[in-house]
Amino acid sequence: MNLWRTWAVFRKELIHIRRDPRSLILIILLPITLLALYGYALTFDIKHVATVIYDQERSQVSHDFIKNFEGTSYFDLKGYVNSYEEIDRLFNSRQVELALILPFDFSRPLKKEGTVKIQALLDGTDANTANIVLGYVQAVTAVYSQNIMIERLQRKGMSQVQMPLQINGRFWFNEDLESINFIVPGLIVVIMTMVGALLTALTVVREVERGSMESLMATPLKKEELLLGKLGPYFFVGMLDVGITILLGELLFQVPLRGSVLLLIGLSAIFLIATLGHGLLISVSCQNQLQAYQMAMLTTFLPAFLLSGFVFSIQLMPVALQVASYAVPARYLVSIAKGIYLKGIGMDILWPNALALVGAALVFLLAAIRKFQKKIR
C-alpha cells in the first residue's frame, strides 16, 4: 500500500468536507441535539406521581395516613374524589396515575389493634411505571404500619422497641440512583454508532452516483488505499464528536467521570474505527445513497439502541438475543463507558471488551476492502 496515494485520497475527501460546510455543521450539531434531547427526555426516575384520594371515612386517623404521601416528592396529591366513577374518569383521561381508597371504617380496626385494608388503583398501561409506583405505596404503608406497631407495644409497657432485623443499605457507583448517570454514557455510544456509520455509509456510493468514481478507477489507486483514504477525515470528524459528547455529558448533566478520560477516548477511537468500517461496508454494498442510509440506520442505530445494554439489561433478554448481542460492537463500548464513568475501572478489567472492539474494527475494515470491487457497477 502506497501511503502517498492514500494521503492524496485523504486530502481529496478533506477538501470535499470543507466545501460542504452545511453537512459538516449538521454532523457536529447532530450529536449535540441527540444528547440534549435523549438526555433530558429519557429518564427512569419516577417522581411526582399524580394521585387522588377516595377517603370514605374522612377522620383524623385517615388524614394522618394521607399526610405520609404528601410529605414526599414521589407523589403529587391532586385532590379528593367521592366515587369510583370519578376515579375511572380521571384514569381514562390520564389525569392521574394512582388512586388510594380508604374504607369508611379505616380507623376502627386500628383502634382495636386489628388490620385494615386499603386499596391502591394504578394505571397499568405502563407496566414498569405501575410496578415502581406500587413499590412506593408499599414502602410508605410499611413505615406507617411499623410506627403503629411500635405504639401498640409501647402501650403494653415496652419502653424500647427494636426491630429484630435492620437493613443498612448503601448504593455503590451511583449513590443517588440518578438514571441520567447511566443513560448518558450509553447514549454517547449510541450517538457515536449512528454518526460514525452515517459518515462513511454514503462516501463510496455517492461517488458512484455522481460519476466521479470512474476517474478514481482510472488511477493506480488500490482499493485499500482508496477506502482508507476516504475513512481518515471522517475518523477525525468522529473524534471531534466524541469530544463534544463527553464534554456535554459533564457540562449539561454533571455525570461523574471517575475513570481515565484518556482511556475512554482511546477505546472510543477503536470503536469509531469499527463503526466507520461498518459504514464503508454498507457503502460498497449498496446501489444508491437512499439504500445506504436506510441500511445504516437499520444495522447500526437499532442494534446499538436495543441490544447493547444501553436501555435494556442484556441478562433479561431471551437467550437468542443475548447471543446476537455479541455481534453488536456497541455492547462492548457501553460496558466500557459505564465502567469508566461510574466505577473508574481500568484496562485490567476492560481488556476483554477492548479486544472485542479491535476484532470488530478489523473484521469490518477487511470485509469492506474485500467487498469493494475496483470497477463500475
User: Over the stretch 269-314, which tens digit does the pLDDT of each residue have?
Assistant: 999 999 999 998 998 888 888 888 888 888 888 888 888 888 788 8
Q: What mean pLDDT comes out for the span 67-84?
A: 88
| Residue 108, pLDDT score | 85
Report how far residue 361's alpha carbon sits from residue 354's, in angstroms, rounded to the nearest whole number: 11
pLDDT band at 121 (very low <50, low <70, confident <90, very high): very high
Q: Which CATH class is domain 49-155?
A: alpha beta
Q: What mean pLDDT comes out for the span 240-245?
A: 88
Lowest-pLDDT range of 135-144, 204-213, 356-365? 204-213
Q: Which residues contact 22 (CB under 8 A, 6 or more apart)?
A: none
| Residue 161, pLDDT score | 60
Q: What mean pLDDT comes out for the span 351-370?
A: 93
Phi, psi (deg, nearest 5) at residue 99? -130, 130
The CATH 3.40.1710.10 domain(s) of the chain lie at 49-155
| Residue 311, pLDDT score | 79
| Residue 274, pLDDT score | 93
Average model confidence (pLDDT) across the chain? 85
Rg (CA), the chain: 29
Phi, psi (deg, nearest 5) at residue 70? -75, -25
Report how far residue 170's alpha carbon sits from residue 176's, in angstroms, rounded to the nearest whole number: 10
Residue predicted with more confidence, 352 or 35: 352
**288-313: burial string, b at 16+ Cβ within 10 Å, e else:** ebeebbebbeebbbebbbbbbbbeee
Report how far residue 357's alpha carbon sits from residue 268's, in angstroms, rounded to the nearest whole number: 9
Report how far residue 300's alpha carbon sits from residue 313's, in angstroms, rounded to the nearest whole number: 18
Question: Residue 243 is placed in which grid cell?
Answer: 469530544
- Scanning the structure block, which residue is given the C-alpha cell 447500526? 300
